[in-house]
């Protein structure tokens, strides 16, 4: 029987593999550290200390204070909590972009169905919002501007400092979806012109099912759920203590080695693209190559079906993707790439590779070889010119 190829995982924008320290922290809570942080006995007291230690670790990663951090079930819930303030206001106007994560766009469409005004700012061919576009959108009163810092499909970085300054000048609250930024960029929440920031544990080698909402003024956040006084009533319900503990450990480890990790991952991503472009000089990298997060490479493989390329690579043991994992079962082309001006055919021909600290240079070279062979094979099958 032929041996299965060794898996090389390059879908780290979808989720990351938990590091051993995180697994140990989660198992420690599940086996010996269990307890309800709201309980008055010793085990509850231990659980509360664990919870607050993780809050301090997560806050430190993004330059927030502990009292600004609220734990949630992940980025989707965090984003919904942040956007929920719009429905509680009188003016009721949300400004966002055409390329946001589905947790923002679907909430925006929900608002529209209920008579709330939503302005969708266009992006340029690199996926970036122009500051002038935001100024125009804010000519009418608005309650909230919500923009992702890093696009999950292309890695393009938005000019959040400039956008935030515009919001501050106009007196409009500013929310950043930092799911793909936290742990990849240096962040100091309290130095930024930002009112709310959201991110997830599983993007930085923590557990799935846990995230955070950072808020500068908690009285401006309105809960979605109602129940106990956990997370100061913003997110009631017994806390996911194993997930929170693992999230805290992941945040602490990432903060400690952030600069070295960024450099190492970027070197892998750049080497991968260099290898492919050496063979296929006309290959197009989607997004802003200058203002891009360190780990993401979204490539247009002209002339072939991206799903077919992914399937071929999957058989070769290379795990990659086309769009956000939240939308990957949909046959629709990427809304992000379409908003950037790509045709449907070009969007369907694009594939995303996202690296992590657990990848190696050897893996990068192997994947570059496999992508080269698979792309050539598909071009030949389609009867197209082989580079």
Strands, E, within 223-358: which ranges? 284-285, 296-300, 318-319, 350-354
Q: Where are the beta strands (DSSP E) in 98-223?
A: 117-121, 144-148, 173-177, 196-200, 211-215
Which residues does residue 351 pair with via DSSP β-bridges, in sequence order? 299
DSSP annotation of 41 reads S
Give the CA radius of gyration of the chain: 21
Q: Which two tokens stand for residue 90?
A: 């009188």
Return all residues near 35 (Cβ < 8 A) that are at least 6 apart.
43, 44, 46, 47, 241
CA distance 195 to 176: 8
DSSP state of 156: B
Question: 201 and 250 in contact (C-beta within 8 Å)?
Answer: yes
- Residue of 167, 284, 294, 326 with catalytic role: 326
Bridge partners of residue 197, in order along the sequence = 176, 214
| Residue 284 among the catalytic residues | no
Mention every residue, 6+ apart, whose C-beta is less than 8 A from residue 41: none
Quote the tokens at residue 331: 């046959």
Q: How far is residue 22's CA from residue 321's CA, in Å, rounded to a whole number? A: 25
- How many CA atoms within 13 Å lie on the side-chain side of 75? 28
Taking alpha carbons only, the member of 44, 25, 17 closest to residue 252 is 25
Q: Catalytic positions, please?
A: 326
């Amino acid at each position: 029987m032929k041996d299965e190829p060794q898996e090389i995982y390059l879908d780290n924008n979808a989720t990351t593999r938990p590091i051993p320290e995180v697994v140990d922290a989660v198992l420690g809570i599940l086996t010996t550290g269990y307890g309800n942080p709201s309980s008055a006995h010793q085990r509850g007291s231990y659980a509360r200390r664990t919870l607050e230690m993780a809050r301090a670790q997560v806050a430190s990663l993004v330059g927030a204070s502990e009292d600004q951090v609220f734990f949630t079930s992940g980025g989707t819930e965090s984003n919904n909590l942040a956007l929920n303030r719009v429905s509680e206001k009188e003016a009721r106007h949300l400004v966002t972009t055409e390329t946001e994560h589905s947790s923002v766009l679907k909430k925006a469409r929900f608002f529209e169905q209920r008579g709330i005004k939503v302005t969708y700012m266009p992006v340029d061919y690199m996926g970036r919002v122009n500051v002038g576009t935001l100024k125009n959108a804010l000519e009418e009163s608005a309650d909230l501007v919500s923009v992702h810092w890093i696009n999950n499909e292309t890695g393009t970085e938005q000019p959040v400092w400039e956008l935030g300054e515009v919001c501050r000048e106009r007196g409009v609250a500013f929310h950043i979806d930092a799911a793909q930024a936290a742990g990849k960029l240096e962040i100091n929440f309290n130095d930024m012109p930002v009112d709310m920031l959201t991110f997830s544990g599983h993007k930085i080698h923590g557990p799935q099912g846990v995230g955070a909402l950072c808020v500068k003024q908690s009285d401006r956040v309105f809960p979605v759920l109602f129940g106990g006084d956990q997370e100061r009533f913003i997110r009631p319900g017994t806390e996911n203590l194993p997930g929170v503990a693992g999230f805290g450990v992941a945040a602490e480890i990432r903060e400690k080695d952030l600069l070295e990790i960024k450099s190492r991952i970027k070197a892998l991503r750049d080497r991968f693209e260099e290898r492919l472009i050496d063979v296929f000089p006309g290959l197009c990298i989607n997004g802003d190559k200058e203002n891009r997060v360190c780990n993401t490479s979204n490539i247009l493989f002209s002339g072939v079906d991206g799903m077919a390329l992914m399937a071929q690579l999957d058989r070769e043991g290379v795990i990659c993707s086309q769009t956000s994992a939240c939308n990957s079962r949909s046959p629709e082309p990427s809304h992000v790439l379409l908003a950037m001006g790509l045709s449907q055919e070009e969007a369907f021909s694009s594939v995303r590779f996202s690296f992590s600290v657990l990848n190696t240079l050897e893996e990068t070279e192997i994947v570059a070889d496999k992508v080269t062979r698979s792309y050539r094979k598909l071009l030949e099958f389609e009867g197209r010119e082989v580079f």
